[in-house]
Amino acid sequence: MNPFTVHVGTALPLRRGNVDTDQIIPARFVPYFQLTGQGNGLFADWRDDPAFATNQPQFQGATILVAGNEFGTGSSRESAVWALQKAGFLVVLAPRFGDIFRENALMRGLLPVRLPALAIELLWSLTEADPTLPVTVDLETQQVRFADRTEAFEIPEAARRRLLDGTDTIGDTLRHEADITLHERARRPLLPRTRSAV
């Protein structure tokens, strides 16, 4: 995973709440998703509408998605995160995220940042008025800065460290293997197994 420290980019306003992962990438695109090459099912059914934000030329090149409440609810498909990343997004700003989407994003290095609804509203208005408005997302100081505003945000410290360092989470966890083994030995003996022990 690439480290994430400070990012300055432009924003794409997505004036919708409850954007579930079936909208981010409809199911029929999920089995086909490839990280490289052509094609991306991102917002596929909404992109049929020429007025949809991602079709607007002034927002091409945006790296920060600004969305309404409950972004990424629904299905656990991590391809929702992959599709956003493939389209060039590094950050999603929203008042609140679906739990699994947020965890997937943190695992893959797409930064999900919770901002108050008022800040989101302001960003929508400002970026619609000026699509070139630079927005700074600073994971080191945990701030989002735009125009003359500074918005602080919270993120679990362990996740922040992993993102800043670009850590391989599995490798990191395996440093605690002794603890895992200890727990394993103390498990209740009658817990079910799916096959005979290895």
Partner 1 sequence: MGSTLAQKVWAGHTVRRGGSGGDDLLYVDLHLLHEVNTPRAFDGLRAAGRTVRRPDLTVGTEGHNVPTISLNGLFDDPAGRRQAAQLRDNCDAFGIPVHRRGDDGHGIVHVIGPEQGLVRPGMTVVCCDSHTTTLGAFGALAFGIGTSQVEHVLATQTLWTGRPGDMAVTVTGTLPAGATAKDLVMTLIARIGTGGGQGHIIEYRGEAVDALSMEGRMTLCNMSVEAGSKAGVVGPDETTFAYLRTRPGMPEGAEWDAEVAYWKSLRTDPDAVFDREVVLDASTIRPYVSWGTNPAQSVPVDARVPGPDEFDSPEERAAAERALAYMDLRPGRRLQDVGIDTVFVGSCTNGRIEDLRAAAEVLRGRRVADGVRMLVVPGSAAMHRQAVDEGLDKVFTGAGADFRPIAGCSMCCGLNEDRMKAGQRAVSTSNRNFEGRQGKRARTHIASPAVAAASAVTGRITAPADLGDGRS
Task: Find the shortest distance in angstroms from Cβ 132 to partner 1.
Answer: 27
Site for partner 1, rule CB under 8 A: 15-18, 20, 22-23, 26-28, 30-32, 45, 68-70, 73-79, 81, 96, 98-101, 103-104, 107-108, 117, 156-159, 168-171, 173-174, 176-177, 179-180, 182-184, 187-188, 190-198
> Shortest distance, CB of residue 53 to partner 1, whole angstroms?
14
User: How far apart are alpha carbons 38 and 33 in whole angstroms?
Assistant: 10
Nearer to partner 1, 126 or 162 (CB): 162
Least distance in Å: CB of 148 to partner 1? Answer: 25
Buried-exposed string 14-46: b where 16+ CB fall within 10 A, e elsewhere: beebebebebbbeeebbeebeeeeeebbbbbeb
For residues 50 and 171, which CB has a smaller minimum distance to partner 1 in the complex?
A: 171
CB of 7 to partner 1, least distance (A): 21
**CB closer to partner 1, 130 vs 176:** 176
Give the C-alpha separation, 156 to 135, whole Å.
22
We find the least distance from the C-beta atom of residue 44 to partner 1, in angstroms, to be 9
